[in-house]
Amino acid sequence: MLVQLEISEIIRQQRLFFATGKTKDVSFRLEQLKVLRKTVLDNQAAILQALKADLNKPTFEAYATEIGVLKEIDYTIKHLKSWTKPKKVASTPEQFPSEAVIYPEPLGVVLIIAPWNYPFQLTLSPLVGAIAAGNCAILKPSELAPHTSRAIADIFQKNFDKSYIAVVEGGVETSQELLKEKFDHIFFTGGTAVGKIIMEAAAKHLTPVTLELGGKSPCIVDADINLEHTARRIAWGKFINSGQTCIAPDYLLVDKTIKKDLIENIKNCLKEFYGDRPENNPDYGRIINQKQFARLTAFLNNGEIIVGGKINPETLYIAPTLIDNVSLDAPIMQEEIFGPILPIVEYNNLSEAIGIVNSQPKPLALYLFSKNKDYQEKILRETSSGGVCINDTVMQVGIPDLPFGGVGFSGIGSYHGKASFDTFSHQKSVLKKSFLFDPKWRYAPYKGKLDLLKKIIG
């Protein structure tokens, strides 16, 4: 663990580097994004190995969801020049002649704190925005994915100067030491409880925060659907990474007329995905640690297990599990599940489902499966969530132009694509005047000028 002095020294060096103005140069940023791209490509094997050791992450999933940060880098490289250009906005006639322009400028030295579930991607993806916007950055990967944390520290040490991008490894105490320092932005991904701690610490320095948090993301299933596609998309979104996905469908709210058929179809999908013995299947992951395993297995008696339920504490295995007859008061319906257990709650009409969703804090994601356009509009109008995906799960995260973030308890701020660039930039408003005229309507003496002012104000 780094002591406070060492952390202060890294920040001091980064401030000195930032002050050289080098990071403001767009060609420097592009060059660094290319270095980042090459670093990921050259170190794929080590990253995949670390993810396997931490989460038994299947190689296919690791490519799609972690190495996949390459797509974000490419998208940013492609658009960076246009994002960094000052943008003219309309000025007002009484200011004639003048020009009003927004200049995006970097914030300075930023801190990025990452969680363990997508430990590589969730450290690098915000970094792409920080680099693009011209900042220096300190990365704090999650100590709960220690192999990935080590791999990140190793590859950054070899490819980036720590006065520009540094990795600080360690647990809660290290985070606490970091949080004592003044940063120009803190980007945190993790749970709501820790999010509150981060915001409190940031407030002491008036540091702006982005909080990418979690919550219970509902998945509402109407009767008017393609059953086979619905079942497959739900099973995939829930059970990739063994359910340890911030936007995984947390629980199902199902129209009671199709519940039986939906369950049957999800059951078939699980068999198709992972076979009869998921514990022997290389395409199925594991729970991160004993603490999470114990928390999750306690949910198994919160209803009637209709699929799965098998566990192995030695290998941290929990089978893909469906639980029926779950009461809304049960512990599994009170906190984010964040594991491969899917409770099913039935409803009689859509308003009842909306009532259940709205009785919980605003979620990070909301899923609706329905062909009915009126129902789709009703859900968009009557619920609030970080994002919505209609007729699929999780895939909304893959659209770079859709800002990704929560609302209320699921987070503050957003990122991905241009939103990442904006998150790590200050939008500096600039008014440029000329010396051509200097009409006296605003200067004292005011006598005789009020009527003109009234006309200007309208």
CA distance 34 to 39: 8
Give the shortest CB-336-to-ligand NAD separation in angstroms: 5
- Rule CB under 6 A: say whether 172 interacts with ligand NAD: yes
User: Can you give the three-state secondary structure of 356-401, one letter per residue?
Assistant: HHHCCCCCCEEEEECCCHHHHHHHHHHCCCCEEEECCCCHHHHCCC
- Rule CB under 6 A: say whether 115 interacts with ligand NAD: yes
CA distance 188 to 179: 11
- Rule CB under 6 A: say whether 176 interacts with ligand NAD: yes
Give the shortest CB-116-to-ligand NAD separation in angstroms: 5
Among residues 117, 370, 393, 420, the one that binds ligand NAD under rule CB under 6 A: 117
Measured from the CB atom, the residue of 186 and 258 that comes closer to ligand NAD is 186
Number of residues lying near ligand NAD (CB under 6 A): 28
Between residue 245 and residue 304, which ones bind ligand NAD under the rule CB under 6 A? 246
User: Is 269 tagged catalytic?
Assistant: no
Give the shortest CB-185-to-ligand NAD separation in angstroms: 16
Give the shortest CB-225-to-ligand NAD separation in angstroms: 26
The piece of 55-63, 112-120, 346-354, 432-440 that touches ligand NAD (CB under 6 A) is: 112-120
Measured from the CB atom, the residue of 171 and 208 that comes closer to ligand NAD is 171
Which one is catalytic: 219, 246, 269, 389? 246
User: Is 61 tagged catalytic?
Assistant: no
223-226: long-range contacts at Cβ-Cβ below 8 A with a sequence spacing of 24 or more?
Answer: 223/255, 223/257, 223/258, 224/370, 224/371, 224/372, 224/375, 225/258, 225/369, 225/370, 225/371, 225/391, 226/371
Measured from the CB atom, the residue of 36 and 287 that comes closer to ligand NAD is 287
Among residues 104, 190, 339, 387, the one that binds ligand NAD under rule CB under 6 A: 190
Which one is catalytic: 177, 212, 336, 346? 212
- Rule CB under 6 A: say whether 191 interacts with ligand NAD: yes
Q: Is there a contact between 411 and 217 (Cβ–Cβ < 8 Å)?
A: no
Between residue 31 and residue 90, which ones bind ligand NAD under the rule CB under 6 A? none
Active site positions, annotated: 212, 246
Residues that bind ligand NAD (CB under 6 A): 113-117, 122, 140, 142-144, 171-172, 175-176, 189-191, 194, 197, 212-214, 246, 336, 338, 364, 406, 411
